[in-house]
Structure 1
Amino acid sequence: MVEGLVTRESPTTDKAAVDRCGAALAGYLNDIGADVTLLPQDSAGDHLLAELGDGPNQVLLLGHFDTVWPVGQLKRMPLQRKGHRLFGPGTFDMKGGIAIGMLAARAVLEVGMTPAARVAMLWTSDEETGSATSQQAILQHGERSKAVLVLEPSGPGGAVKTSRKGCGQFELTVTGVSAHAGIEPDRGASAVHELARQIVFLESLQDVESGVTINVGRVDGGTRPNVVAEKAQAMVDVRVRTVADANRIERAFAGLTTEDPRTQLQVNGGFRPPLERNAAVRRLYEAAKQVASDLGRDLSEFSTGGGSDGN
């Protein structure tokens, strides 16, 4: 199954490719007896909802089958089997996790066990770009579930991830006044200079010890060295550990104002919230840890700065 999914490359932004992988995944889900519902999308690949069993309670297995790798990556990074391990684009993040969840569900059915709750699987197609089209389905099925298990890659040594940083993506666009930098510089208002001032201010919001990091990862602006820049843009990544910090940083972005009144600033973006290690997360981890102990294994926990559908 993992090989079948990995060989069907599925970069998030290629709907046709993602849907081909989704069709194969739907076939595997049908093979284990799941009732499969297609959740059609216009601007992304179609999501899949699969259900096994019935009853008032539900456990949700959540994950994604889109990847960051473009079509053609398999030619440069071919799927390889080394002993009991597979290597290739998408095996770890996270087509292997999908296969593990389906194997567990099939095993429960094949040994004749009656699950205490309905098992639902929601496999999404846009996690790598922020889950914009799958968010409502995730919230809907998450709210009706007693537990949600996100089958993303584990931490070191197989550790489960019990907390994740929130991920903010913001775009700053500054509009200034163009002018010749040598002949009439006083008539210009540089969008690049204004953007630089905004970036310096944003850096002051960073608090690494508290888990708040701000990275301006891309800057574009201007046209020629001798022209006062009329446009400038910056893409900013923000990571936070708590909802309180996410709210504080979001307010700071919303309150940005220009120092040069001749320039204008537009801010777009927002947060995928953090997964905090709250009481519910701790209870679920302790239950999983006990199951692992009964099987002779030690299950540790891990915190990560990366986001997922679990946020």
Structure 2
Amino acid sequence: MTHAAQVRKYVQDHLTELLEDLRRLVHTETPSNRKDLLQIGLAEIEDYVTTRLGEPSARRQHEGGPRGDVLDLTWPGSPGVEGSVLSVCHYDTVWPEGTVEDWPLTQQGDELSGPGVLDMKAGIVQTVWMLLALRQLKIPHPALRLMLTGDEEIGSLASRRHIEAAARESQVTLIAEPSAGGDVKVQRKGTVTADIVVHGIESHAGLDPEKGASAIHEMARLIPSVLALADPDLATTVNVGLLAGGSGRNVVAGLASCQIDIRIQEPQEEDRVVGVLEALAPHDDRCRLEIMIDRNRPPMNPTEQTERLLGLVKRAGRDLGEVVGTQAVGGASDGNYIAALGLPVIDGLGGIGDGPHARHEHIQVSGLPRQVALMAGLVELLADGH
């Protein structure tokens, strides 16, 4: 038996404090594209976690360039317990500055709504209270390494190498991204993105149409080839999410662009779709293409490591009288990188709620003690050598 039930009661007894912590973090706005606010926000979050947990035994901060910095903090484990557990939490959100002014953290019944509360300020707070509960209840635990990243919502380009390096040095990585209704996420799709720009030749649509080469017409010919990359049998999906071009109704368009999102479940699909995108060519040789491709995240698929960790999470759930299920989702996370390395990772340990990236984003307050207890139960089992 784990002490998960004791942890749940501890968190329930201190729920008011936890909710105040969450309010502090949600009201600290950290949009992914605002380096200045990310710097202020990271300093505020570091002050919060060190106030709750004390000064870490190790601290490293990695410059993120135009993106948010990565803050890597470690607190020691119980005497005699070896190894460390990594918790990866992103502090950036999709919400622009000023959102919290007309949408502050608000509770109605069991729902607590606010920008970034689910994705994923709750995950940061849960991680802090997990370690706090383990300490206060004197439950043996490994060292905790908390990695706070500031660019997950825009591809983790600055943080990826630091996440992968930390995962290689840790027993297990916990991803406190939103749960799937209380279930953990064992499978996520990978992401390939592409930006296509067509350069044409402008001319008057009425007087000199033959002198022009329409970038929009060329893009219209290309898009069916892009959409044909979808393969329902392999769960590969394609979305042209943004399309722009032209300068006027009576002007043969000199420029057009589109942004493409491709989701893959099978690893080999990445090479296939990238190969097709790279081979795209204009139908009208007077037009020129620019194609920018990002193999953003590999897919996350279950492994033997996943099954072992899932068994531990389910065991902690049983100690709470809960059944913890599993789900596959289309969205990606930093857990994709770790799984692709063949390293142990468990995802979806964060808040129970709905509406990430939407105006109805919220968590269930009653789910917070359960989620913290699940995390604590898993970490306790890892300390026992499971």
* TM-score strictly above 0.5: yes
Whole-angstrom CA distance in 1 between matches of 2:156 and 2:270: 18
Q: Post-superposition shift, 1:226? A: 2.2
2:48 is the counterpart of 1:28: yes
Q: Post-superposition shift, 1:299? A: 0.5
Q: Post-superposition shift, 1:84? A: 5.3
2:325 is the counterpart of 1:300: yes
Q: 1:96 maps to which residue?
A: 122
Is the deviation greater in 82-91 or in 2-11? 82-91
Whole-angstrom CA distance in 1 between matches of 2:219 and 2:325: 44
Cα offsets for 1:168-205 (capped at 9, x unmatched): 22100111222222223222221111111110111111
Whole-angstrom CA distance in 1 between matches of 2:247 and 2:321: 64
Whole-angstrom CA distance in 2 between matches of 1:155 and 1:26: 28
What aligned pairs does 1:98-177 form with structure 2 within 5 A after superposition?
Answer: 98-115=124-141, 117-156=142-181, 158-177=182-201
Cα offsets for 1:18-72 (capped at 9, x unmatched): 2222112111222203344332333122221110116763211111111111111
| Letter in structure 2 aligned against 1:53 | P
What aligned pairs does 1:220-235 form with structure 2 within 5 A after superposition?
Answer: 220-235=244-259
2:260 is the counterpart of 1:236: yes
Asked if the contact 1:29/1:50 (under 8 Å) is kept, the reply is no
Q: Post-superposition shift, 1:289? A: 1.2
| Letter in structure 2 aligned against 1:275 | M
Q: Post-superposition shift, 1:85? A: 4.6
Asked if the contact 2:99/2:115 (under 8 Å) is kept, the reply is yes
Asked if the contact 1:142/1:148 (under 8 Å) is kept, the reply is yes
Number of residues of Structure 1 aligned to a counterpart in Structure 2: 309
Q: 1:42 maps to which residue?
A: 65
Q: Post-superposition shift, 1:284? A: 1.5
Moved over 4 A (4+): none
2:182 is the counterpart of 1:186: no
2:93 is the counterpart of 1:70: no
Whole-angstrom CA distance in 1 between matches of 2:284 and 2:318: 62
TM-score, reference length from structure 2: 0.76
Q: 1:15 maps to which residue?
A: 35
| Letter in structure 1 aligned against 2:66 | S
Question: In the superposition, relative to structure 1, how do residues 174 and 99 fare at CA in structure 2: closer, same or farther (>3 Å)?
Answer: same
TM-score, reference length from structure 1: 0.94
Whole-angstrom CA distance in 1 between matches of 2:211 and 2:276: 30
Q: 1:287 maps to which residue?
A: 312
Whole-angstrom CA distance in 2 between matches of 1:22 and 1:192: 43
Paired residue secondary structure (2:316): helix
**Of the two structures, which has the highest relative contact order with CA contacts closer than 8 Å and spacing of 6 or more?**
2
Whole-angstrom CA distance in 1 between matches of 2:144 and 2:175: 13
Asked if the contact 1:162/1:303 (under 8 Å) is kept, the reply is yes
Q: 1:53 maps to which residue?
A: 76
Paired residue secondary structure (2:68): coil
Q: Post-superposition shift, 1:118? A: 2.4
Whole-angstrom CA distance in 2 between matches of 1:77 and 1:305: 28
Asked if the contact 2:234/2:266 (under 8 Å) is kept, the reply is no
Is the deviation greater in 75-84 or in 123-132? 75-84
Cα offsets for 1:80-108 (capped at 9, x unmatched): 13355532111111101111111111212
Paired residue secondary structure (2:335): coil
Asked if the contact 1:64/1:124 (under 8 Å) is kept, the reply is yes
Whole-angstrom CA distance in 2 between matches of 1:215 and 1:244: 19
2:228 is the counterpart of 1:197: no
| Letter in structure 1 aligned against 2:317 | A
Whole-angstrom CA distance in 2 between matches of 1:113 and 1:217: 49
Is the deviation greater in 206-215 or in 59-68? 206-215
| Structure 1 unaligned residues grouped into runs of 5+ | none
Whole-angstrom CA distance in 1 between matches of 2:217 and 2:264: 28
| Structure 2 unaligned residues grouped into runs of 5+ | 1-20, 337-386
Paired residue secondary structure (2:271): helix
